[in-house]
Structure 1
Amino acid sequence: MPIQNRLLVALAALACLGACSSQLPRPTPASEVPEIRPGVLAGYLPRNALPNSLTLLAAPPASGTAAFAVDEEAYRSTRSLQGSARWKQASEDAVLRFPQAAAAFSCAADLPITEKDTPHTYLLLRRTMADAGLATYAAKDSYKRKRPFATYNEPTCAPAEEASLAKDGSYPSGHSSLGWAWALVLAEIVPERADAILKRGEAYGQSRVICGVHWQSDVDAGRLVAAGVVARVHAEPAFLAEVEAARKEIREARSKKLAPSRDCGAEAQALGTR
């Protein structure tokens, strides 16, 4: 193809991208999003469109293998953190109730992530939580892996949840999946803070190992599921519309110099970040 024609094709493609973005639907108000259970909004993907974690992931490490020895070492290496600031942070990261859950990334984004100040960003987190969490259950329900605290009969940073967690498969980690999904989405809409956001997403998953409720391989697998979910959800017009609206409100929040909703100094000290 002559170079002139290639240039014309490229220009046409760019024009199409602009037209496509202008044809996105209006963002869906939270009031119009159904709940899948009280307080938990439906995601952007129907159940049959979720990535299949059982297909995506290899089996978890079996007892007695070198890979399981790595899991055991990672678990044991974090037991000394009980009672520390990092242990307290892991306890806070365990909370999936909104608005507290959204605030986990406030310092990393250097903005408040609240229904009042950044409603589209807030809604993105609420809805992608469902997608990233539900996508882990094909593997969870198949493998029914026992969690470390239940294996060793030791305390966790979330004692009130231990009874329910003991009945829920450990592999892959749902918290790690949704935390990494949130990090990927936020890095996209707040690119100037991408490094800090991704680092926070990593720490969010590691909180599950520190808490004693997941093995390291559970957390690693959760991040892989999250990547699949975020890739897939980009095909959904409703998600793309919300992303565009979130970008605009982030710029407005920056112009107003809105401050994060958490004590960022204390969080940085707990996580060992700058």
Structure 2
Amino acid sequence: MNNVVKHVQLNRALLLGAGAVLITGCASLQGGSQPEPVAEIQPGYLQGYLSETELPNSLALLPSAPVKGSAAFQLDQSIAQEKLAVRGTPRWMLAAQDADLSFPNAAGTFSCAVGAPISQEQTPHLYQLLRRTLTDAGLATYSAKNHYNRARPFMMNNEPTCSPQDEAELRHDGSYPSGHTSIGWSWALVLAELAPERADEILARGLAFGESRNVCNVHWHSDVVQGRIVATATVARLHADADFQSDMAAAKAELAFVKAQSLPPVRDCAAESAALAH
């Protein structure tokens, strides 16, 4: 979860919103409706919905990280070796794009799967919802990450990654479980609820988003699998939060509105589909 570590500095001070500034969303297409202002915990990253004590405890939820010599680690190594063959292909390039959790790039990740634009200008409530859940889903991985401090694949196989600019930070950020996967699968679960008629496409894209971490040579297979568990626990907890429920209702109405206008996704869906089919 290199971008979250690099830009957010995941720690208790940020959970409390130290040094926060306020931002507001742009007017939506629905009569100027705007999301309520939310504090930034770091430039570009919003305060999540959950407090530190409300976050799922990934260390308690997950099995121990696979150790060298185990069958699970042998499977991890086998899949990591297999994914090296994808280097330089369109799938590799998509994985590099998936690695970038900054907005507005990340907002477009599920645009093709949803079949509609997702942007600050056209869907400001949904845009902010994705930004806030990113923080919750990412932070929820850290009790296990910090405990196991697992070395990443590129540190062991000495092969390139799809995000070389992040490798220095990744070396000091535990691999198990995958923070990117937790974030991407959380988004998939949320969006599948908002647009149930596109649930299959959305969940498939969520699975591929996690798999991108294997393609990038920055996470083991088991990191990705367990990242989805953390995501599921996070989204379940979010549904007990009144602010999250309110924002989901606003995002659902907003998404229905832009879909009714037949507005196109913000990404090249033919190129994405071809990359995912590689």
- TM-score, normalization by structure 1: 0.88
Contact 1:61 1:67 in 2 (8 A): yes
Q: Which runs of 5+ in 1 are unaligned?
A: 1-26
- Match status 1:51 vs 2:72: no
Contact 1:28 1:238 in 2 (8 A): no
1:155 corresponds to = 160
- Cα distance in 2 for partners of 1:28, 1:177 equals 27
Q: Which runs of 5+ in 2 are unaligned?
A: 1-32
Encode CA deviations 1:14-63: one digit per residue, 9 max, x unaligned: xxxxxxxxxxxxx9835x21112111001110011000000000111110
One-letter amino acid of the counterpart of residue 48, structure 2 = G
Contact 2:133 2:187 in 1 (8 A): yes
Query: CA offset at residue 250 of structure 1?
Result: 1.2
Please identify which structure carries the higher helix content. Answer: 1
- Cα distance in 2 for partners of 1:187, 1:112 equals 15
- Match status 1:80 vs 2:85: yes
Contact 1:28 1:242 in 2 (8 A): no
RMSD: 1.2
One-letter amino acid of the counterpart of residue 175, structure 1 = H
Q: 1:258 aligns with which of 240, 249, 263?
A: 263
Q: 1:91 aligns with which of 96, 107, 112?
A: 96
One-letter amino acid of the counterpart of residue 63, structure 1 = K
* Count, aligned residues: 246
- Which is higher, the Rg of structure 1 or of structure 2? 1
One-letter amino acid of the counterpart of residue 231, structure 1 = A
- Match status 1:41 vs 2:52: no
One-letter amino acid of the counterpart of residue 257, structure 1 = S
Any residues of structure 2 matched to 1:1-274 within 5 Å, and which?
A: 29=35, 32-272=37-277
- TM-score, normalization by structure 2: 0.87
- Cα distance in 1 for partners of 2:133, 2:74 equals 33
- Cα distance in 2 for partners of 1:151, 1:180 equals 26
Segments of 4+ moved more than 2 angstroms: 27-30
Contact 2:145 2:175 in 1 (8 A): yes
Encode CA deviations 1:170-207: one digit per residue, 9 max, x unaligned: 00000000000000000000111000000000000000
